[in-house]
Chains A and B, each alone.
Chain A
Amino acid sequence: MNNIWGVIWLGILICTLSCTAYGQEVSREQIKGLDEQVQEIKSDVLSIAAELNLLEEKLLYPSHTQISMFLALAKGDLFRLDSIEIRLDEQVVAQHLYTFKELEALQMGGVQRIYTGNIKTGEHEVLVSFSGKSTGGNELEYLESYKIEKDIGPTIVEMILAHQGITFNNR
C-alpha cells in the first residue's frame, strides 16, 4: 500500500513541478495567426491616428494662430516636480500634477507638450508657476513670466525647469 501511494504521489508531484500544457484546444498556429492580425489592425489604427493628428492640428490650431508650449527638465537636475500652472495673458491655460512615471519620463529627457492653443499676432505674456521638492527635501516654489511676440508662423515656447528656476526659449 505504501509503495502504491508513493508512486501516485510522486506522479502528482512531477506533474506539479513540470509546467502544465495550457489549452490544448488552442494551437500555437492559431495564436500566431491571430497575433499577426492584431499587428495589422494596430498598424491600421496607428495610420488613422497619424492622419487625425494632422487633421486636428490643421483644423483646431492653424499655424498663423498656433502657440505650443513645451516643458523639459534641466539635464541632470533630479528635483521632484509636483505641479505646474501656466497662464497666458492672465488666463489659466494649463495645470498639471505629475505622476512618478511622468516625472521619470521628463528626467530621462522627454519633453511634455503642456499646451497648444491659438493667439493673435502681437505681444503676449506667459506666467509659469511650479512647485516641487529639491533633492535635499526643500520645498521649491517658482513664479516667472515671459514675453512672447506672436508672428505669422506657429509659436513654440520651450520652458526648461530646474531647481534654480525656469529658462524660456522661443523656438
Chain B
Amino acid sequence: MYRLVFFLISLWLLVSSAQAASTSAPEELKDLYFGETLYYAFQEEWFDAIARLDTELALHHGLDQPELDSLYVHVGLAEFAVGDFELAYRMHQRAGRAITAVINGNVAEEIRNEAIFRLAKIYFQKNQPVNSQHVLDRISGSVPEVIRDDLIFLRSQVHMATGRFDEAVTLLLELENTQSLEGFTGYNLAIALLMAGQDKEGHRYLDLNGKIRSKKPATLAIKDKSNLVIGDILLGKNNFLGAKEVLDRVRLEGPFSNRALLGSGWADASMEHFEQALIPWSLLLERQITDLAVQEALLAVPYAYGKLGVYSKAALLYGSALKSFGEEVDKLETSIKSIREGKFLRALVREELKQDDNWVVKLREIPETPETYYLLDLMASHDFQESLKNYLDLEQLRRKLENWNGDLDAFEEIIEKRRTYYQPLLPEIDTKFRLLDSQMRLRLEQRERIDKRLQTVLIAPRPDYLATADERTSRERIIQLEQTLSADTAAVSDQVTSRIRRLHGVLDWNIHTGYDQRLTEAYQNLHDLNQVIETLQQQYNSFVRIRQAATQSYQGYNKSIRRQRIRITAATEQLTTLMARQGHMLEVLAVSELTRRRDRLEEFQVKARFAMADSFDRATRTQGQKRIEQ
C-alpha cells in the first residue's frame, strides 16, 4: 500500500514539476545580465542560468564598491534565484546551502518561508521525507498566498510518507475545496483515511473523487485512478457489482483504461456474466500488446468462451494467445540483449527525442530500439525517472566538457596568433613611446611653470614676465649699452645717452601699457594649451591602455587555461565513471523489468498451453457427445 502512496505522490510531483522554479522577473530590471540568467531559467535551461548567475554574483561580490553595481538592487533576489535554479536542476545539496543562506539572511518573512517550502519540496522529491519534515518545521509567520495550499499539501504528503496518516487527514480536510489541487486532495485524503484504518470514510472519498467533473487532464487522470483503486478494493471484497460500476467510470482512452477494462471484465466474470465480460476484454485485444492488461486479456477472452461452452473457439484463441506470447517473449529477449549491448542508453540520449515533450512515449516508435518497447511503465516510476534525468544531465555535462576542451584549443590558438603578431612590434613601439613620453613630460613641466608664473602675477603684477622675446632681447641690449656707457662717460655724447634712455623708456612703456592685454592673452593661450594637453593626455592614456591590452591579449592566460584543462580532464574522468554507473543502474532497472515481464509471459504460456489442451479436450468430447446424440 505504501507503494500506492508513493505512486500518488509521484503523480502529483509530475504535475507540479513543470513549475520547478518560482523566481520571477523583478518589477523594474536594473541589471541586464541578471535578466539574461532569467531568460535561460524561464526556458528551463538550468545549467546556463546557474553558470551565468554564479559568474555575475562572483563579479559583484568581488567589487570594491558593490553598491555602485547594477546588480546591487537585485542581489537578494539573485541569491535566492541561484538556489531556486539549483533546486530545479535537482542539486538540492548546493541549493540547500544557497537557500539556507537566504533563510538565515536578512530577508522578508514571506521570502524566507517560500525558500523553506522549496527546500522541503526538493527533499521530498528526493525521497527524504524526514529531512523534508525538519525543514518544514522551520516555517513560521506569514506564508505567501501563492504557496499556501501547496505548503499544506506538501505537509500532508510528508505526514503520509512518514506514516502519520491522522495528521495528514486533518491537513487534507483543509484543502477539500482547493481548485488547483482538485482530485489530488480527495485521492490523498481517501488513501490517508484507508491507511489510518478509517475504511468507510476512505471509500466514501474515493467514490466522491471518482465522480469529479473536470476538463483538466491531470484531474481526470486522478479521477480514473480513484475509480480503479476503489474497484480493486470492491473486487477484493467480492462486491463485483459495485466494482463493475466504478470501473466502468474510468475513461476508455485514459492511462488507466486498460486496467479498468480488465477489472470490469473480471467483475462480470466473477458474477458468471461471461458474455458481458467479453465486451471489455475484447476491447483490450485491439490494444497495444505490450501492455500487461492486454496480455492478460489474451487469456481472459478464451477463458470466457470456455465458460460459455464454446470450447473450440476457446482452444483457437488460446492457440493465438500462445503464438502472441511466444512473439512477445522473443521481443523481450531481443530487448534484454539489446539493452545489454548498450543500445538502450544510446537511444535515451538521441537528440531528436529531446525536441518532443512526449519523448518517453516516442521512444518506442523510433526504429531499431526494441529495448524501449516494454519500458513505459518503468519510465513512469520515480526512481527510474530520477536516474534517467541524472543520466541525461550527465550526458549534457559530458558534451559541454567536450566542447570546452575544443574552446580551450581555440583560445590557445588565438593567444599564439596574438603573440606572434604583437611580440615583434612592441619593442620598437616602446622605444618610440619612451622618446615621446620624455618630450611630453618636458612640455608638461613647462606648462606648469607658466601656470605658476601667471598665478604669481595675479597677486603681484610683473609686466616684465609678459615681455615678448624681442622685447626681452632689446631690453638686455639696452641695459648692456647703459652699463658700457656708464663705465666710459667721456666718449659718449648726451644725445646718445638720451636716445638710449628714450629707447628704454619706450620699451618699458610698451611692456607696462600692454600688460592687461598681454595678461588676458596669456590666460587665453594657457586655456588653449590646456585643451591641447587634455587631448594629448587622452591619446597618451589611450595608447597606454592599448599597449597594455596588447600585452594582456596574450600574456597571463597560460596558467588559467592549464588549470581549466586539468579541471576539465578530472571532471571528464569522474563523469565517465559516473555515467557508466548511472547507465548501468538504468540498464539493471530496465533488464529487471523486462525479465519480470518475460517471466510473467512464460507463466502465461504455461497456462495457455494447459488451457488450450483442456479446451481441445472439452471440444472433442462435446463433438463426440453430439455425434452420439445424432
Contact = CB atoms under 8 A, between A and B. Distances in A.
* A and B: bona fide binding partners: yes
Contacts of B400: 45, 49
Given A23-B593, A48-B564, A16 B296 contact: yes
B42 A104 contact: yes
Interface residues of B, number: 95
B38 A108 contact: yes
Instruction: Tell me the interface secondary structure of chain B in the complex.
Output: helix
A14 B236 contact: yes
Contacts of A171: 32, 70
Contacts of A26: 383, 585, 588-589, 592
Nearest to A104: B42
A111 B29 contact: yes
B118 interface: no
A53 interface: yes
Interface in A1-59: 2, 5-6, 8-10, 12-14, 16-26, 28, 30-32, 34-56, 59
Contact of A108 (B24, B89, B92): B24
B404 A48 contact: yes
A141 interface: no
Given A10-B266, A41-B574, A55-B561, A19 B553 contact: no
Nearest to A121: B542
B401 A45 contact: yes
B596 interface: yes
A106 interface: yes
A121 B262 CA distance: 76
B575 interface: yes
B359 interface: no
Interface string B86-124: 000111111000000000000000000000000000000
Contact of A16 (B259, B557, B582): B259
B585 A17 contact: no
A38 B36 contact: no
B386 interface: yes
A50 B56 CA distance: 9
Contact of A19 (B7, B70, B266): B7
A26 to B, nearest CB: 6
A112 B89 contact: no
A53 B33 CA distance: 13
B32 A156 contact: yes
20 contacts: A5-B303, A14-B236, A16-B259, A20-B593, A23-B588, A41-B575, A44-B571, A48-B568, A48-B571, A50-B58, A52-B404, A52-B407, A54-B55, A59-B557, A72-B35, A104-B42, A105-B39, A105-B43, A110-B25, A112-B36
